[in-house]
Amino acid sequence: MKPGMEYRFLSRIALISIFFVSHAATAEVVLTEEEQRYLQQKQQIKLCADPDWLPYEGIDENGDFIGIMSDFYSLWSEKIDTPIQLIQTSSWEQSLELAQAGQCDILSSAQDVPSRRAWMDVTNPYIFYPLAIATQPDHEFVVKFEQILERDFVAVEGYAATEMLRERYPEINITTVKTSREGLKMVETGNAYGFIDTVPTINYQMLRWGISHLKISGVLDLHYAMSVGISKSQPQLLGIFNKLITDTSELERQQVLNNWLSIDYRQPEDKRLFWQLFLAVLLVLVVLIYRYRQVHSHNRNLRDLNTQLEQISQHDHLTGLANRYALHQRFNVEIERVSQTQQRFSLIILDVDYFKTINDKFGHDIGDEVIKEFAVLLKSMVRESDLVGRWGGEEFMILCSQTSVYGAFQLAEQIRVGVESHVFTANQKITSSFGLSDYRQGETIGDTIKRADDALYRAKNNGRNQIVMADSD
């Protein structure tokens, strides 16, 4: 096959896939005659959105509606053959004001909260995501929000999260700001303890604005259950959008998610790439045909969507390792295993020695590369049953399943030697320090973490590039 022909052939296969996707996506929803007459008379639906809440929704420099929500509304517009027209605003607060004044027919994503019920109805939820808190890297992991309730928090003005938090915790001290960037900067500069939003939004905004040294310290038990906000002046739209939400298939939901939450990576440039892509596209084609024929025979639900969002919420945005939330979930599994089998598990907390010096000397970009290389090295040296996570900043944690502290010590020593001998991007010798502890039945995971953290502190005070085990009874 001549150069270039293989990619043209592959493109044709991809177009066939797109045909099946498009055919499934544009199936019209069944409306009553009254609903059809209403839409014909209305001609277009006016929508207000949050201009700065990516990856969920935003307005770009060209004034276009973008993000996860925009793809849902493009899909729904096709299903009812009615344009959905964006009303441009400069802030979420302005969007709420226009919606309350009746200048917008719908809000793209709205939470059912008491302050809006006088002028807005909401549809059934079509997307769920938990609230999370971003803090500086040296702050403790938040197991229960009550443990840090006396701290100062920040959230975006007008977001339902603020009202939800104040209703659950009347004594909370939470300040509002205009944008996510402003809130994250307040945390970065120490003017607030934590910024509260969803995990994907926090990760996206930190990457967008180069705020890479904050961490997600915990996921709250409060969730956004997002719906379409319907103006009280347009009650017919409530039934129409509930039908659209019900009619949206699992396949269509996943397509929307993949547009905005997929992970990019580079493949080696060799001939195998064509065949790998060809087989992948062919497989996608077969799956799409099958799903198209089967999707309308299943009950539609949002669980797949929630699972996808949960996966995104469990990985560190810089290294791809497990984040604190994922480690916390694994702690619960291991503690339950201990109660059933009496087999202990151990924790290793380690960090890059003198990392601040690397940042100061080479800059944050090289510092980030060192962190990513360090993560790859750790991942390559642990067992499949172990979990490696980024604990915050230059600090990492390894959860060693069904392993005594002495077994964890052997692993830590292998890693210590491997790090010391590895040639990093910074082109200078890098070492690491380690603190170890094992879980004792009946104690809290916070106690286990603290003993490992105290051991790490002693390792650093004793000269670094060494391993210290927590005192055992």
pLDDT score for 290: 56
Q: Predicted confidence band at 223 (pLDDT cuts at 50, 70, 90)? A: confident
Which distant-in-sequence residues (6+ apart) come within 8 Å of 284 by Cβ? 17
Q: How many Cα neighbours within 13 Å face the side chain of 131? A: 25
Among the residue ranges 165-169, 204-208, 293-297, the one predicted with the least confidence is 293-297
Q: Is the model's pLDDT at 332 over the cut of 80?
A: yes
C-alpha 166/C-alpha 173 separation (Å) is 9
Q: Between these two residues, 349 and 312, which has the higher pLDDT value?
A: 349
pLDDT score for 391: 92
Asked if 46 and 85 touch (Cβ cutoff 8 Å), the reply is yes
Q: Which domains does the chain have, with CATH numbers?
A: 5-123+226-308 (3.40.190.10), 127-225 (3.40.190.10), 324-469 (3.30.70.270)
pLDDT in tens, 390-422: 998 899 999 999 999 999 999 999 999 999 999
Q: Which of 347-356, 358-367, 421-430 has the highest mean pLDDT?
A: 347-356
Asked if 408 and 348 touch (Cβ cutoff 8 Å), the reply is yes
Which distant-in-sequence residues (6+ apart) come within 8 Å of 38 by Cβ? 236, 240
pLDDT score for 441: 85
Q: Between these two residues, 227 and 284, which has the higher pLDDT value?
A: 227
DSSP state of 322: B
pLDDT score for 11: 40
Q: Predicted confidence band at 257 (pLDDT cuts at 50, 70, 90)? A: confident
pLDDT score for 14: 38
> What average pLDDT score do residues 49-72 get?
90
> What average pLDDT score do residues 278-282 get?
61
> What average pLDDT score do residues 183-203 get?
91
pLDDT in tens, 113-126: 888 999 999 999 88
pLDDT in tens, 102-116: 999 999 988 888 889
Give SS3 for 132: strand
Q: Is the model's pLDDT at 232 over the cut of 90?
A: yes
Which distant-in-sequence residues (6+ apart) come within 8 Å of 464 by Cβ? 353, 354, 431, 433
pLDDT score for 1: 47
C-alpha 93/C-alpha 79 separation (Å) is 30
Q: Which residues pair with 399 in a beta bridge?
A: 347, 387
* Catalytic annotation present for 394: yes
Q: Which of 57, 394, 395, 420 is catalytic?
A: 394
pLDDT score for 420: 94
Q: How far is CA 79 from CA 83, 133, 237, 245, in A?
A: 10, 37, 14, 11
pLDDT score for 436: 97
**Residue 444 one-letter amino acid:** T
Maximum Cα–Cα distance across the chain: 79
Structure tokens at 333: 């599994």
Q: Is the model's pLDDT at 381 over the cut of 70?
A: yes
Burial environment of residue 324 by CB neighbours within 10 A (0 to 12, 13 to 18, 19 or more): buried
Burial environment of residue 472 by CB neighbours within 10 A (0 to 12, 13 to 18, 19 or more): exposed
Asked if 86 and 47 touch (Cβ cutoff 8 Å), the reply is yes
What is the number of other CB atoms lying within 10 angstroms of the CB of residue 149? Answer: 13
> What average pLDDT score do residues 69-83 get?
92
Q: Average pLDDT of the chain?
A: 84
